[in-house]
């Protein structure tokens, strides 16, 4: 079996498991970028998504100016292709982390690239919360934060998990794109050590690993969404 694998995937074996160009390093870099970008971008997206819902004309705290600001910021960042965003905010990235290249530097554009998508997803998820429940909470004197956390986020948690799953899958794709321009990870492995060197076996294995990550995220997300659903 070992001999067959070596003969079938010679470039995969040549890359090795450890070291700067090893598979373990690439996997770790992908997980690192996905986790921290999901955390920072997710928090920012959640804030903007909630802000879009509560400051809307029919929200619990309508504010035309704030709604316009939230909406425009999300729309502008969402309209910029990720590959252009990587280059456009390079000076800002260097200001934040001290460098424009590498895995850590990729966290800045990844976070800013994923947050507008997630913000819109959260906005849609929370907008589907039954307005009658919100009105009932207001009628019994629930505070602003009680409604945000106790009604919107609690009632919409299943849908939020679903949109979070979609966002995470999209983010894994972005990490692969970031890796293709030097941020490391499986994207860098597939392009720099696979495609550019005509090592198709390396490209295929890197692609399969990305697909495995996506499948795991999808399965876990579906399970949690179903478990926490009120339906």
Question: Quick check: is 148 in a domain?
Answer: yes
The structural domain count of the chain equals: 1
Integer distance in angstroms from the first to the last C-alpha of the chain? Answer: 48
Question: Quick check: is 8 in a domain?
Answer: no
What's the distance, CA 67 to chain centroid?
23
> Quick one: pLDDT at residue 101?
79
Question: Quick check: is 65 in a domain?
Answer: yes
Question: Quick check: is 64 in a domain?
Answer: yes
Query: Which parts of the chain sit beneath pLDDT 70?
Result: 1-2, 5, 7, 9, 180-181, 230-231
pLDDT above 70: percentage of residues in the chain: 94
> Quick one: pLDDT at residue 116?
93
> Quick one: pLDDT at residue 7?
66
> Quick one: pLDDT at residue 122?
93
> Quick one: pLDDT at residue 52?
93
Other C-beta atoms lying within 10 Å of the C-beta of residue 6: 12
Among candidate residues 44, 61, 33, 13, the one with its CA nearest the CA of residue 193: 13
Give the CATH number, domain containing residue 41: 1.10.3720.10
**At a CB cut-off of 8 Å and minimum separation 6, what does 37 contact?**
106, 107, 110, 111, 114, 171, 174, 175
> Quick one: pLDDT at residue 197?
78
Question: Quick check: is 3 in a domain?
Answer: no
Question: Quick check: is 213 in a domain?
Answer: yes
> Quick one: pLDDT at residue 13?
75
Considering the entire predicted model, what is its pTM?
Answer: 0.88
Question: Quick check: is 9 in a domain?
Answer: no
Residue 70: give the domain boundaries: 15-227
Q: How far apart are CA 5 and CA 104, in angstroms?
A: 33
Question: Quick check: is 210 in a domain?
Answer: yes
> Quick one: pLDDT at residue 95?
87
Give the residue ranges of DSSP H helices in 128-182.
Answer: 131-139, 144-147, 153-155, 157-178
């Amino acid at each position: 079996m070992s001999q067959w694998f070596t003969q079938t995937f010679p470039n995969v074996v040549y890359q090795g498991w450890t070291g700067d160009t090893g598979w373990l390093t690439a996997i770790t870099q992908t997980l690192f970028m996905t986790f921290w970008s999901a955390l920072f971008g997710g928090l920012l997206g959640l804030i903007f998504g909630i802000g879009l819902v509560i400051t809307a004309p029919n929200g619990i705290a309508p504010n035309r100016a704030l709604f316009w600001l939230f909406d425009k910021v999300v729309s502008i960042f969402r309209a910029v292709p990720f590959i252009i965003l990587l280059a456009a905010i390079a000076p800002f990235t260097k200001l934040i982390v001290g460098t424009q290249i590498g895995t850590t530097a990729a966290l800045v554009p990844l976070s800013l690239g994923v947050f507008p998508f997630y913000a819109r997803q959260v906005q849609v998820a929370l907008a589907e919360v039954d307005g009658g429940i919100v009105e009932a909470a207001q009628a019994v004197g629930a505070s602003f934060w009680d409604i945000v956390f106790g009604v919107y986020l609690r009632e919409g948690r299943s849908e939020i998990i679903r949109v979070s799953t979609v966002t995470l899958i999209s983010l894994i794709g972005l990490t692969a794109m970031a890796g293709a321009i030097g941020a490391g990870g499986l994207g860098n492995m597939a392009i720099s050590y696979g495609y550019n060197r005509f090592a198709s076996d390396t490209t295929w294995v890197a692609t399969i690993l990305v697909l495995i990550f996506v499948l795991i995220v999808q399965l876990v997300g579906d399970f949690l969404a179903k478990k926490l659903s009120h339906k």
